[in-house]
Amino acid sequence: MDIYEICFVLSTFWVGPFWFAMLINPYEEKTKKLLRGPWFYLGPIVIWYLLMGLNPEGLIGLTSGSTGEEGFLISLASALATKPGVTATWAHMVAGDFFVTRWIWKKCIEKNANKWIMRLSIFFGVILMPIGLAIYSIFVNKSKPSH
C-alpha cells in the first residue's frame, strides 16, 4: 500500500464512528456531543491538505490549463486521473457528504422525524448523498417541527 491508498482508506473509515453513532443512537447525548465539534469532517480535510502538500503540481495544473472551457476540463480530467487526484477528490467528497449528512441528522432531530426515515436519510447521506438529501427533503422536510 502506498500513501495514497492509505489516505483513501483513512478518509473513508474516519467517518465510520460518527456515521454509526447517528444511525444507531441518533438521540443519545454522546452522539450529540461527538458531532458538536469539527472532528467528524476534520480527518478527511486534513488528508486533503496532506495530499495537496505532497502533490502541489496537481492543484497548480488545474490553474495553469488553457483558459477555454474545453482546456479547463481537459486539465481537470488529467489531474483527477492520477492517484493523488482520485484520493484528494475522494477525501473532498467524504468530507462534503458527511457534512450534509450531519445537517440531515440535526434537522431530523429538530423535526422529530420518523426514526426509519431518519436512518434511511442518514444511511444514504454518506453512501449516496443526493439520495439521502432527497429522502430527507421528500419525507422529513415537509413535516412541521414538534416543539
The number of beta carbons lying within 10 Å of the beta carbon of residue 71 is 11
* pLDDT, tens digit (0-9, with 9 covering 90-100), for 55-73: 887 666 666 655 565 677 7
Cα of 113 vs its chain's centroid, Å: 22
Contact 72, 65 (CB under 8 A): yes
Indicate the SS3 state at residue 87: helix
Q: Decide if 145 is inside a domain.
A: no
Q: Decide if 147 is inside a domain.
A: no
Query: pTM for the whole thing?
Result: 0.84
pLDDT at 81 over 90: no
Total count of domains within the chain: 1
Q: Decide if 23 is inside a domain.
A: yes
Contact 135, 120 (CB under 8 A): yes
CA dist 51 and 8 (Å) reads: 10
Q: Decide if 73 is inside a domain.
A: yes
The number of beta carbons lying within 10 Å of the beta carbon of residue 115 is 11
Q: Decide if 114 is inside a domain.
A: yes
Q: Decide if 72 is inside a domain.
A: yes
Separation in Å, CA 101 to CA 63, 64, 72, 88, 106: 31, 34, 31, 20, 9
pLDDT category, 95, cuts 50, 70, 90? very high
